[in-house]
Amino acid sequence: MLIGVPKEIYPGENRVALIPSGVEALIAAGFEVVVQENAGDKAHFSDDEYRNCGASIAPTAESLYGQVDIVLKVRQPLDEEVPLLKEGSTLICMLDAWFNLPLVQQLAERKVRSFALEFIPRTTRAQSMDVLSSMGAISGYRSVLAGAMELPQYFPMLMTAAGTIHPARVFIIGAGVAGLMAISTARRLGAVVEAYDTRVEVREQVESLGAKFVEFDLPQEEGGSTGGYATEKSEEFYRKQREQMQAKVAQADLVITTAAIPGKMSPRLITKDMLHYMKKGSVIVDLAAERGGNVEGTVAGHKEYIDGVTIIGYTDHPGRVPVHASQLLTKNITTFLLNMAGEGQLNINMEDDIVAATLVTEDGEVKHEGLKAKIEQE
């Protein structure tokens, strides 16, 4: 079977789904690989590097899509790409399916078999395929750097002839993959770090990285997490959480928010009223900006100034380090693909929990039960 890697055309996307070293792994497994011309340019991989690893180069997107059986992408196809997908072909990418239901229906209508990488379960066997963890770690790292560059003060404590500089105080909300990477990065830069998570079981991980774990007196609600992801709480829970969180937010020089719930808009954790109590010149990096943000006033993709506080809502942190982001994606995607392949052919085994969780469309139908139910409701 022929695997195709098109050039990403999503605005601002610099990553590529497969770097040259990944080509060799797929060829060794019995596949052929074709890469669109200049597909790796923004991630600093040249066409010659792909050729040297055994791939052929397609001059246009049309020529690539027209011949391949399997398409590997980073982001979901845009409107102009969907008609290029061949009937019966297989698409593997981050579909962002919960928020792209019309696209899901289009893929079904075109009889494209599609897999959504964001649905990979957080299990031990699937760790090497987990794109959200790979990209979340980059976002956590980049969030601290973005905040440090915007903050009008040093991060570390410095004792100089001109006096002592006190370390920055960083408060991180959410101790998932992104939050834990943010903690370790902020600590390496010399900040005093506190972190909060609704899941008290992450205390040990937070403290092992040198941060203080913060607890609030909140009502107990069912379901701390599902499949490794946080679950939605009641509005009353969020209201009481905000009340108790205000003091910690007011003390911090930099706040990083990471709270996201699969298939839902981001929970509102910091209101404009809370911003009023923050120090002038303090910074918030909202990693949940793409889904409405954890902070009232966040604008996705932009930097805002409200009541003396800078709110950074960038949504492309992984794309700002495209070399390593593409390297990690390549490992995730090739491992996912090879898990359901043998001798250069696909073997779709619905008994495999990873395959069953990620299959979205096949044979003209929406196969994912949750998405199908949501489409029917709408």
Helical spans, DSSP H, in the chain = 20-28, 47-52, 61-65, 101-109, 131-150, 177-188, 203-208, 235-251, 272-276, 322-338, 353-358, 369-377
Q: Which residues pair with 252 in a beta bridge?
A: none
Name the active-site residue from 51, 122, 187, 320: 122
The whole-angstrom separation of Cα 73 and Cα 81 is 11
- Bin 278: left if φ > 0, else alpha if -120 < ψ < 50, else beta: beta
**Tokens of residue 9, six digits:** 């055309």
The whole-angstrom separation of Cα 123 and Cα 17 is 22
Is residue 353 among the annotated active site residues? no
Is residue 133 among the annotated active site residues? yes
The whole-angstrom separation of Cα 227 and Cα 231 is 10
The whole-angstrom separation of Cα 312 and Cα 177 is 19
The whole-angstrom separation of Cα 8 and Cα 42 is 10
If 0-12 CB within 10 Å is exposed, 13-18 middle and 19+ buried, where does residue 195 land? Answer: buried
Is residue 127 among the annotated active site residues? yes
Contacts (Cβ under 8 Å, ≥6 apart) of 3:
18, 26, 31, 32, 33, 34, 68, 69, 70, 71, 72, 337
Is residue 363 among the annotated active site residues? no
Name the active-site residue from 36, 89, 133, 134: 133
Name the active-site residue from 50, 76, 130, 282: 130
The whole-angstrom separation of Cα 35 and Cα 50 is 8
**Tokens of residue 162, six digits:** 């001109």
Name the active-site residue from 56, 127, 208, 345: 127
Residues recognised as catalytic = 122, 127, 130, 133, 229
